[in-house]
Amino acid sequence: MSGNIPSESQLSVGVEVGPTSTLVALVDATANVIAQEAIPRDAVAKKNIAAALHLVRRLCAEAGITVPDLKAIGICHPGVVSSHNGTISFASSLGIGGTPYPLGAVVEAQTGVPTVVDNVATASALGVAHHNTFHEFHVSREFAVNYEPEWKNQRADFAYLSLGFSLAVGLVLNGYVRRGTVVEGEIGHIPIQPGGLPCHCGQRGCLERYASRSAISRLWPAGGEGDDAITTMFDAAASGNAAALAASSEFADAVATAIRIVILSSGVHGVAIGGPLASAGEPLIAAVRAALDRHATHSPFIEGLGLPSRVDLAPPDVPVGAIGAAALASGDYASPLMVPQVYTIRDTP
């Protein structure tokens, strides 16, 4: 808890639904997290929502406000998210299939508070930009020197690369989040190797097969299936294990390829790496920068882009998804052509 609680109208709630837990944060207009708490995710969407809203009510009560005092609720969610109508589909971990689930309308009906739903990577991109606008930079000095002025003016031009079970990117362009028409940020399904490894999307050689948790499991089977396998891989590489060195180098090459695709296609100034695998920390970012250097060896064009200095880790231990979701719900960060819809309160479906 912060000792400084601003007026009720400035407080919003950000909810980040993750693969194993749901994080709820009470956030003010300058990206201060007043309170936050995570609860284990329930595999049934309705139970998950009920538990999250119970936590929202408790955090509000502890902060001395009621739920109707909130300015807005922002939810970022895995799966296919329609920010325009607040629905979720293909979120298998919550038992949601191809029939869109009206999450925004359900939460609005139960709280009476305007609610916005968005993609996790998109919300996290805005969360990093928003956090860095109001707080001390957690990124490297070089990165901060290059990009601080734009963030201070809230005209961030910036990408968030989410590394985890899947590979996705969120974009903040000229201060606004980029929302796709049908799909957004799914760079994991760009094929990079013709005839390469099969992907669950039905294609072969998708980038996600080389730069995600499944790639770590394949390259470094000694690490097991969990998110900490990447840490054991870099630890073993640091102690000179030849297999771990080869695995970490191949993985970093794929992440570096993702970064080149993002910067070459969108022209953003910088990329922050987040998601569960970013917990590997400094060894990961060092390996990615080394890979970007290798990729530039024979290309004056790539070398001239200065890619290693344009990538860094997202601020650790900051709930950037929840901060970004709260900002999206309460502020003016969606591009003018794609303003988030505020759902009409109606009966719970």
3-state secondary structure the chain: CCCCCCCHHHCEEEEEECCCEEEEEEECCCCCEEEEEEEECCCCHHHHHHHHHHHHHHHHHHCCCCHHHCCCEEEEECCEEECCCCEEECEHHHCECCCCECHHHHHHHHHCCCEEEEEHHHHHHHHHHHHHHHCCCCCCHHHHHHHHHHHHCCCCCEEEEEECCCEEEEEEECCEECCCCCCCCCHHHCECCCCCCECCCCCECEHHHCCCHHHHHHHCHHHCCCCCHHHHHHHHHHCCCHHHHHHHHHHHHHHHHHHHHHHHHHCCCEEEEECHHHHHCHHHHHHHHHHHHHHCCCCHHHHHCCHHHHEEECCCCCCHHHHHHHHHHHCCCECHHHCCCCCCCCCCC
Least distance in angstroms from the C-beta of 166 to Zn ion: 9
| Binds Zn ion by CB under 5 A, chosen from 67, 144, 197, 199 | 199
Question: Which 285-314 positions form the footprint of Zn ion (CB under 5 A)?
Answer: none
Nearest residue (CB) to Zn ion, 189 versus 260 = 189
Nearest residue (CB) to Zn ion, 199 versus 245 = 199
Stretch that binds Zn ion, among 85-93, 116-124, 204-212, 339-347 (CB under 5 A): 204-212
Stretch that binds Zn ion, among 104-112, 124-132, 174-182, 192-200 (CB under 5 A): 192-200
Instruction: Please report where in the chains the tokens 């640091």 appear, as a residue.
Output: 238
Least distance in angstroms from the C-beta of 96 to Zn ion: 20
Least distance in angstroms from the C-beta of 262 to Zn ion: 17
Nearest residue (CB) to Zn ion, 206 versus 233 = 206
Tell me: does residue 168 bind Zn ion (CB under 5 A). Answer: no
Tell me: does residue 201 bind Zn ion (CB under 5 A). Answer: yes
Nearest residue (CB) to Zn ion, 30 versus 193 = 193
List the end-to-end C-alpha distance of the chain, in Å, as a whole number.
35
Nearest residue (CB) to Zn ion, 187 versus 323 = 187
Tell me: does residue 206 bind Zn ion (CB under 5 A). Answer: yes
Least distance in angstroms from the C-beta of 251 to Zn ion: 17
Nearest residue (CB) to Zn ion, 206 versus 247 = 206
Question: Which 248-267 positions form the footprint of Zn ion (CB under 5 A)?
Answer: none
Tell me: does residue 192 bind Zn ion (CB under 5 A). Answer: no
Q: Within 10 Å of residue 148's Cβ, how many Cβ atoms?
A: 14
Nearest residue (CB) to Zn ion, 60 versus 187 = 187
Stretch that binds Zn ion, among 126-134, 158-166, 188-196, 301-309 (CB under 5 A): 188-196
Tell me: does residue 50 bind Zn ion (CB under 5 A). Answer: no
Least distance in angstroms from the C-beta of 314 to Zn ion: 24
3-state secondary structure 167-202: EEEEEEECCEECCCCCCCCCHHHCECCCCCCECCCC
Nearest residue (CB) to Zn ion, 216 versus 313 = 216
Stretch that binds Zn ion, among 51-59, 86-94, 140-148, 205-213 (CB under 5 A): 205-213
Tell me: does residue 189 bind Zn ion (CB under 5 A). Answer: yes
Interface residue list for Zn ion (CB under 5 A) = 189, 199, 201, 203, 206
